[in-house]
Amino acid sequence: MADPFQPTISTGDILAEAGALFARNRVLVVLAAALLAGELFAFDMLLQWFGLGRPGTHALYSLANIPLRLLTDYTVATLLIASERLNPRRWSIMSLLSYAVLSTLAGLAMLAGFAALIVPGVVLAIRWSIAGNFAIARGLGPVDSLRASWRATRGSAGGIFGALALVGMISVIGEFALSGHLGSTPAQLPPGMVMVRDVFTGLTGAAGACINVAIYALLAGAQDKTIGNVFD
């Protein structure tokens, strides 16, 4: 039975909230884009320096960047959640560990889902899309964060899919337009194009972070703001 008190959101709701979030946090979003782009560019340059950018080492290239990207994504999400006053807890090693563990668990489950029939992977990606925000804002453990995200997104899967698909499509089209192919390593592109691609990736990453926090704000943020404002 559907919960009559469970909020549901559409793609339009998410995009409108993300736009408003961006307007309130322009400087922070630009800094987030710069942080994401800088992390990727620094890693690309390290790969070139050590000669690890050859096509045959693409898998290693992707895997080695995961810890850096996790830390960067966690930092961006934490700053946006704090700026939006979504009842954020102070930064702690436990929340970072919870974020990292749940991201790993969700990633493995989604890979298995995509490998099986694709659809299960898409469903998991949507229903667990805001689990990391629960770990940051409410200090939940990995499993509890995944459960909270699953409950919160019930009834809003279509709207969330539309918003995430839009960002994903822009990212794929942009990367292909800039490099002529997808998933290129830095050795396959001239340095100038590596920088341009990384800036574009940083911008789309920041946009994705805004959409992710906007989804969380719409589905769980009203309660979080109420709790957070009790002591204001």
Tell me: the pLDDT tens digits for 179-205? 665 555 555 666 677 778 888 888 888
71 vs 151 pLDDT, higher one: 151
Residue 45: predicted pLDDT: 73
Residue 196, pLDDT score: 82
Indicate whether 6 belongs to any domain.
Answer: no
Is 4 part of a structural domain of the chain?
A: no
| Helix (H) or strand (E) run with residue 57 in it | none
Task: Report yes or no on 229 lying in a domain.
Answer: no
**pTM, two decimal places:** 0.83
Q: What is the pLDDT of residues 157-184, one digit of tens each?
A: 999 999 999 998 998 888 777 766 555 5
Domain count, the chain: 1
Determine the Cα–Cα distance for residues 219 and 223; give it in Å rounded to an integer: 9
CA-CA distance, 65 to 44, in Å (whole number)? 9
Per the CB < 8 A criterion, the answer to whether 77 and 209 are in contact is: yes
Instruction: Tell me what pLDDT residue 2 has.
Output: 47
Tell me if residue 135 falls in helix, strand or coil: helix
Domain assignment present for residue 232? The answer is: no
pLDDT confidence of residue 96: 86
Write out pLDDT tens, residues 41-69: 777 777 666 665 555 555 666 666 778 77
What is the phi-psi region of residue 51: left when phi exceeds 0, alpha when psi lies from -120 to 50, beta otherwise? Answer: left
Beta strands in the chain (DSSP E): none
The domain of 162 spans 11-224
